[in-house]
A and B are shown apart, each in its own frame.
Chain A
């Protein structure tokens, strides 16, 4: 293999996939990136066995061939080279790849390309096409609620529930839940539920632009594949059931608070400063036309905020983790929002005020 190209393009390709490479690997070859010169392209691929990213970039192909080289080191080298420089990769001898640019020379240890694992070609049973913008919005509106490292495998990801008329994204960490729905003629006959792993969700969110270009999700055989121009992401799905989220979203509640999103958000963020750092508890006192927010920390420092709201229903008091409220308010776009409540031990439901309530946020209270 021998290719030549400008540094920025090569760096861009590597940057796209390098996030997948885990810093600590059990399998040495997984710290490497797969490189193949074919036709007038360089194919760059990285995987952690759960997710695989492959990007191709046009290059000057002097000699076709393939190899794998240390991903991080190659990335750092390219980053260190000056912008606009010309770079070449060349297999110099068995087990060595030569990287040259101007007066710089680097010899990297390589491993055989045949050994490099690949998530086998996907057998797509279902294909759904939507715009970049729509998919990105679905992800942005719920992904913050995914669990980080829960024991429950199914919480460490995002549910895509695909019905004939809509696509829903759902995420929950067991304390709060976010659901967003997009109306779409999907072409599926029966409902389909898949759980995307956290990493795939975050990578997708990073790579989707907000445009109207279409993106196709191919699903089958426990995998999902997304083709974005010259980039292909393949991910294993989380094998398991997702909880019955519809049961968790309350139907009708007897108290309804209408508030200005930005005002309430700001008040909550200020009060949060003096909340217990670990538990993040905040007390909400609802009175007609008034929301009182109180926090107190172990040092007995206190905060109190009052914000105007419209309350429909009896006054009440309830505790929440303030982070959960802020996350939900941050994910919204409208000027006003609605918070529906039933009692101090029952979940609160937040959504955007207005005609189209496509996203719902359920937050369980805290006993303070």
Chain B
């Protein structure tokens, strides 16, 4: 019997006794490696290991003893099934995950190459700078700092530089890390007395790519260390690429010395892409997923989704998922249909104001009447319906809804209950309510 087969049986037994959420979160995802005397359960991280050891080892032992006619030692540890060859695990009796000898850094996303980057007016300067740096790392644009809002492609450009440097020199040590990870590693290195190791690790990189450098703002000690790393690399003509969510001069809490150092290199912005660029980005991202996206469809989405590149990606992913599932060709009609609810969100989110307007229009009363203190039936009922709709369609609390209607939260609560009741007993209210619901949601 393989460990995983045994484990599936074991989980099936445990399912009958333990809360389903616990089984799902802590037991089902474990992988099991079975040897003659030992069952090793591999968990993704320490949190799961500790929880399993604390709460579930007893039930697991009992279930296993019912499944097997002999005793097994049960061992829970961090690990991934493929990474740990069966034999060695058992031979070494790995209890704890091996202490990392180097500092874990991020991986370059293979899709984020410079070639795959879609250029438009909004990002041409940044793109050109990245190309230049990739061709001449450690040259005059050092550091290269790319700034702009989240979701516009900063990280893509940064990874692109990394890929290009590696393409030219496969032996180059390109180190990519998020600023906050860098920060965490630094603090724990100090704590563990491994500061030297930490310094060496980063100061010997051929190219250092740090994402979201704004995180070190306000963290003096880290900035100090970063300042030294920075100097060491610049002096030895190693390339540094940074991203930041705003122009560094505007970053509060950033050491003046660092601001000056950043100004030595080049700071380039990426901005909101225009319509054509958005469409081109969509087509390119679709290509990467082997989805043929025609220009008219791309323009349709680009026109509706304006905020940032990631939202475009979201729309595209949704489209790709449904297209793959239904096997239908991606036409404008298909896109309209499958993205209808997403578009609806952009076209008209259901807000308290929408609800008030729609309800006032429906009952032919003035908008102000909805918030008035008058208690006549003809006004009170629409007001209650509007408040009930607000509760159903928005995420606002009773208090927030009350504020919008000039009432306190108990009034809203009462309206909510009253309308629920009336929808049962009064066919007219039921109809009004469902008409309004339909108007507001389609």
Contact = CB atoms under 8 A, between A and B. Distances in A.
Interface in B1-17: 9, 16-17
Interface in A208-254: 244, 247
Nearest to A243: B16
B157 to A, nearest CB: 55
A244 B12 CA distance: 11
Main secondary structure on A side of the interface with B: loop
Chain A interface residue count: which class? under 10
Nearest to A190: B9
Interface string B292-304: 0000000000000
A244 B16 CA distance: 7
Interface in A178-210: 190
Contacts of A190: 9
Interface in B156-173: none
B19 to A, nearest CB: 15
Nearest to B16: A244
Contacts of B17: 247
B229 to A, nearest CB: 59
Contacts of A244: 16
Contacts of A247: 16-17
B102 to A, nearest CB: 45
A35 to B, nearest CB: 47
Interface string B17-32: 1000000000000000
A190 B6 CA distance: 11
A23 B17 CA distance: 44
Contacts of B16: 244, 247
Nearest to A244: B16
A247 B16 CA distance: 9
Nearest to A189: B1
A247 B17 CA distance: 8
Contacts of B9: 190
A98 to B, nearest CB: 59
A90 B16 CA distance: 59
Interface in A153-197: 190
A61 B9 CA distance: 55
B11 to A, nearest CB: 14
A244 B17 CA distance: 9
A244 B14 CA distance: 11
A244 B18 CA distance: 13
A309 to B, nearest CB: 33
A190 B67 CA distance: 9
A190 B10 CA distance: 13
Nearest to B66: A246
A305 B4 CA distance: 58
Interface in B27-78: none
B312 to A, nearest CB: 47
Nearest to A247: B16
A247 B15 CA distance: 12
Interface string A33-61: 00000000000000000000000000000
A203 B17 CA distance: 35
Nearest to A165: B69
A193 B97 CA distance: 40
Interface in B169-195: none
Interface in B254-303: none
A164 to B, nearest CB: 8
B1 to A, nearest CB: 9
Nearest to A164: B69
Interface in A242-290: 244, 247
B169 to A, nearest CB: 56
A251 B17 CA distance: 15
A190 B16 CA distance: 18
Interface string A133-152: 00000000000000000000
Nearest to B15: A244
A94 to B, nearest CB: 55
A247 B18 CA distance: 12
A190 B17 CA distance: 21
Nearest to A163: B66
Interface in B59-115: none
4 contacts: A190-B9, A244-B16, A247-B16, A247-B17
Q: Which 4 A-B residue pairings sit nearest by Cβ, starting from the closest? A: A244-B16, A247-B16, A247-B17, A190-B9
Interface of A: 190, 244, 247
